[in-house]
Structure 1
Amino acid sequence: MEARLPKRKTPVYVSSHPRRTPIMAMPPQKPQPKPVVTVLPPEHSFKPNDQNNQDSLADIMDIRKQNSLSSMLHK
């Protein structure tokens, strides 16, 4: 006959916190290249106090004079 040991009732502990994985250091990233900016000359100079200037600011800012209506409709 086999001798049986009495069964122990051992409490089971469940951790409320999952095991944490070790934090890995991120490899250093290369610095982002700066965007290239092109500075264009002004398209039109406007001097409001110039008596010889016949165009008003509204006329200069009117995009219909720079682009035709058909080209604006095709965009």
Structure 2
Amino acid sequence: MALAGPLLPEPLRTTGIAVIQTGQAFAYLVSSVLFGMAWQAWGPATASRVAAAGVVVAMAATALLLAHRPAALTPEVSR
């Protein structure tokens, strides 16, 4: 939300942040259900390894996306 807040138009900022939060909550629900299904199907060791690999992939993708963010979208910090 901290990254998206400055990019949203001011009149719609609170609505945009609420939509982002709703999306995050839904993603938490889906990931919890999928992890539970993987735990039941593959066992705790394999499910944990797959989840850890997913975290590594997500962190790498996030780093790449943030590194290549255009300067026009980078919020300015006022001092």
Higher helix share: 2
Asked which structure has the greater CA Rg, the reply is 1
TM-score range relative to shorter protein: under 0.3
Query: Which of structures 1 and 2 has the larger relative contact order (alpha carbons within 8 angstroms, sep 6+)?
Result: 2
| TM-score, structure 1 normalization | 0.27
